[in-house]
Amino acid sequence: MRVQFKLNHKEVSFNVHPGESLFEVLRREGNYEVKGSNCRDGSCGACTVLLDGVPVPSCTILIGRVEGREVETIESLGDMENLHPLQRAFLENGAVQCGYCIPGILLVAKALLDRDPNPSREEIEEELSGNICRCTGYVQQIEAIERAAELLREERK
Amino acid sequence: MKKYRVVGQDVEKVDGRALVTGQPVFTDDFSLPGMLYGKILRSPYAHALIKEINASEAEKLKGVEAVFTYKNVPRKAYTTAGQGYPEPSPYDSFIFDKKVRFVGDRVAAVFAESLSIAEEALSLIKVEYEELPAILDPEDALKDGAPVIHDEPEIQGAHDPSRNIVSHVDLEIGDVDQALRDSDFVVEGIWETQYAQHCPMEAHIAIAYLDERGKLVIRSSTQVPFHARRILSFLLGIPISKIRVIKPRIGGGFGAKQEVLIEDLVALATLKTKRPARLELTREEEFVSSRTMHPMKVKVRLGADKEGMLKAIEMDILSNTGAYGAHGPTVFFNAGSKTLPLYNKAENVRFTGNVVYTNLPVAGAYRGYGATEGYFALECAIDELARKMGIDPLILRQKNHIRPGETSPIFKKLGEGREGVPQTVESCGLEECIENGRELFEWEKKRSLPREVAPGIYRGYGMAIMMQGSAIPLVDMASATIKMNEDGSFLLLVGATDLGTGSDTILAQIACEEIGIPVKNITVYSSDTDFTPFDKGAYASSTTYLSGEAVRKAARKVKEQILTVAHILLGASGDLVIEDGLVKEVGTGKTLTLEEIGLRSFYMADQRQIQATASHVSEVSPPPFAAHFVEVEVDTRTGKITPILYVAAVDCGVAVNPQLTRGQIIGSIVNGLGFALSEGLVFNTRGMPLNPNFLDYKVLSSLDIPEIEVILVETHEPSGPFGAKSVAEICINGPLPAVANAVYDALGIQLKKAPFTAESVLRLLGKI
């Protein structure tokens, strides 16, 4: 079957098998910015994408469900020359080690800051709890999200 | 202390931009036309003989290109452990064997056009097993008449396979029994650790292909590319010159990838079919069939006199290495060698024990490498001794810990599965670690508060001190090459293996500090066995200390070459310095750009490539030190332990990049808290793991972490690059004893078996 949706603000259309997950289709089509820890049950969060602005583990989304909807991967945040304030804050706060969980965590953080520009530490911890990071112990990531929230608020002023 | 320009700065991770933008940098972010997909058939039995295996149906399935079983692969005993040669681990593994030794052991592998075809093919392989009695408790391994797990004639390097013993030590310094008899206070106990798994976010993955020369190229998520190449050459019988191992960015390893676990299979598939082949472990395979921490039972006896001076330490260990002995001897030795020197005031020390085979998953290298298990026992025993004496456990530690200028006979007696090397501790900030941690934590004030903070809710305060090492002295070698381009930019080529730790950045900082250039002027490449010089890989807290010194030496040579040209160009006779990429003559103020030097060297006069390679082996392994303090809350109605505040004061010498250093410290503490609070594989009575997934094996999430404060106590290690020691492993050792000691402080119960589940707390409270 064919499925059509918006990927990072561009219309795309792929030939897919109805049993495939969004994760499998994205990887097969060369969207390597979506990482996967091979849990395949949504428990690690590494393959998180935004589906109509809501973070979801793409390995748990059957491809048919994205027809006509909007999917965002880390590509929608910023590129190497024009980092999003979240990406900048993650680098400046030492919140990246191996980097494997980072695209997923950044998208979760983006959805949170889109919804609430001034989240409490508890809200950030709650929001990140579906994404495992085995390297950092989360502290610098939480600090980075607080810092990014500040940067974004300043930008909006 | 000398002020540095680049070292000591929070330089942005050199690979950071690629990682935060999700660039295709990992092993799997790469696909080749015609690539085959592999799957491994795993044993459903803990211990069994393969009576018959028939893969003909699988081979006939359309899309299947290769099936491997013990019948069609070379039979050679080897070790999967990626260690220096000759490896201290036993040669007790085969690519495939007629015998399976744990649930999850390899039986066969299939490579097919797609993953689903490979999966279907696995179900077509017919295997007839003869189940054998299994050993599921390490205590049973040593019993008379126990099943023999390794009865293969080819086994080499295991202490006594007929009794399931991989390694045995019986070491005594002084007279421990006499010293214990003479002691005024003696304590004793047994502490037990669990089956914990590294859980790197990226599972083991490798892709093999043949290049245009017919060379076998393997792109692998490995911590040890050079050891992997050597082991593959031995195993497959092809020369090292025909194998190239590329390590791209790695999605975490923590020791699990200091092993050669899948590269042999993709290599076989590619050699047979001439096509690219890919194999990735599933999360379940990562939990069950890759590697784990060594579950250990550690018995400790301590004796002290009335003044609180330790007289004797006895440590006896039963270490469970699982079905194969990868890293078995060395992890066991480290449980003693990284812990016992900490209390060097005790003149009588005994270290004994066995590493045994069982029919359970295979233990291997795991961050901490035995010290974690040793410190759980030792630091809990120290607290018990302090209680028995009625003194503050902090003071007992202060009286007895090692200090600068001191040594311990253990350094020489216990090495990597053999004797070690003697050393004197030059840099040691442990006294300041304890002092600064005590102050920030408010140790005395907190310990004077009432423990019950609400009905049924108790708070407790515990601590632990620890050390580790920096590299394996007189064994491991690292090297680095630095080249200058004609525009004055540089390339740093290292075999050192950044697996997420930030070592590429650290090594760049060291190179730039020595040469006198900013980090933006250097590009780091790690690691490729054809293009970067040899390095042992990422393990044993080595990279900053050992590879860093190799980089510093290479940088010094490059700088000398640059200055030679500069002297000629400037017509200078006086001193020259390089600052921010500019050569300056001291006194006259004349300057020269590196580009002018590069252009002259490449194209004009005395033409040559400005470059140098240097290697380094260390004669010592200077320990980093740390003092950890934790406040916990225990709900006696539910048994739940919640860590509230964690303070870690750490001496890792000069912190080359304080922010990355802090990341290593916090990351290892949170992993250690996982050991203490929730992590552990659970098995049924047939040796089958019941929780090999992230839903049932609980890695800590952002909701489970306490407030964590890090204090860097800077010392200067004379043998390290710009005064640096290691930092990546040490802090994983603290949480187990610190949390157990804090829970005792709250409730008077002794948690001696990790993890400290709510159930175990309620049991000790007599509530269930």
Show which of A55, A76, A97 is a domain's final residue.
A76
Distance CA A156, CA A154 (A): 5
- Contact list in B for residue A137 (CB cut-off 8 A) is 663, 666-671, 705, 708
Q: What is the per-residue DSSP string for B626-644?
A: EEEEEEEEEETTT--EEEE
Are residues A71 and A22 part of one domain?
Answer: yes
- Most B CBs within 10 A among A58, A83, A100, A112, hence the mutation to make, goes to A100
CB-nearest partner of A44 from B201, B501, B659: B201
Q: Above 60 in pLDDT, residue B296?
A: yes
Indicate the CATH number for domain B36-132+201-252+257-289. 3.90.1170.50
Are residues A150 and A133 part of one domain?
Answer: yes
Domain map (residue ranges) of chain B:
16-24+475-617, 36-132+201-252+257-289, 296-472+620-764
For residue B424, the tally of other CB atoms under 10 A from its CB is 12
Are residues A91 and A71 part of one domain?
Answer: no
CATH number of the domain where residue A8 is located? 3.10.20.30
Average pLDDT over residues B637-657: 98
User: In this prediction, what percent of chain B has a pLDDT beyond 70?
Assistant: 100
Q: Tell me: the pLDDT tens digits for B511-555?
A: 999 999 999 999 999 999 999 999 999 999 999 999 999 999 999
Q: What is the pLDDT of residue B2?
A: 63
Query: How confident is residue B1, by pLDDT bands cut at 50, 70 and 90?
Result: low
- Contact list in B for residue A55 (CB cut-off 8 A) is none
Q: Above 90 in pLDDT, residue A156?
A: no
**Residue B22 C-alpha, separation from nearest chain A C-alpha, in angstroms:** 4
Are residues A72 and A13 part of one domain?
Answer: yes
- Contact list in A for residue B10 (CB cut-off 8 A) is 94
Q: Nearest-CA neighbor of B222 among B241, B248, B188?
A: B248
Distance CA B486, CA B242 (A): 33
Distance CA B56, CA B597 (A): 66
Are residues A62 and A33 part of one domain?
Answer: yes
- Most A CBs within 10 A among B21, B35, B659, B712, hence the mutation to make, goes to B21
Q: Above 70 in pLDDT, residue B502?
A: yes
State which H helix or E strand residue B56 sits in. helix B56-60
Q: Tell me: the pLDDT tens digits for B669-697?
A: 999 999 999 999 999 999 999 999 999 99
Q: Above 80 in pLDDT, residue B659?
A: yes
Domains B16-24+475-617 and B36-132+201-252+257-289 share a fold: no
Average pLDDT over residues B597-618: 97
CB-nearest partner of A91 from B12, B670, B701: B12
* CB spacing of A35 vs B26 below 8 angstroms: yes
The mean pLDDT of chain B is: 97
Q: Which CATH number fits the domain B16-24+475-617, given the four candidates 1.10.645.10, 3.60.15.10, 3.30.365.10, 3.30.2000.10?
A: 3.30.365.10
Number of domains making up chain A: 2
Distance CA B530, CA B145 (A): 50
Q: Where in the sequence is the domain holding A106, given as residue range(s)?
A: 85-156
Show which of A41, A58, A76 is a domain's final residue.
A76
Angstrom CA distances, B400 to B298, B341, B395, B482, B727, stand at: 21, 10, 9, 45, 23
Are residues A64 and A9 part of one domain?
Answer: yes
Beta pairing, strands B310-322 & B348-357: parallel
* CB spacing of A40 vs B199 below 8 angstroms: no
Are residues A72 and A97 part of one domain?
Answer: no
Show which of A12, A41, A76 is a domain's final residue.
A76
Rama region for B237: left / alpha / beta (φ>0; ψ in -120 to 50; rest): left
Q: Tell me: the pLDDT tens digits for B571-584?
A: 988 899 999 999 99
3-state secondary structure B473-524: CCCCEEEEEEEECCCCCEEEEECCCCCCCCHHHHHHHHHHHHHCCCHHHEEE
In this structure, which topology does domain B296-472+620-764 adopt according to CATH? Aldehyde Oxidoreductase; domain 4 (3.30.365)
Chain A residue with CA closest to B285: the answer is A38
Q: From start to end of A8-116, where are the E strands?
A: 10-15, 48-51, 54-57, 70-72
Model's pTM, two decimal places?
Answer: 0.98
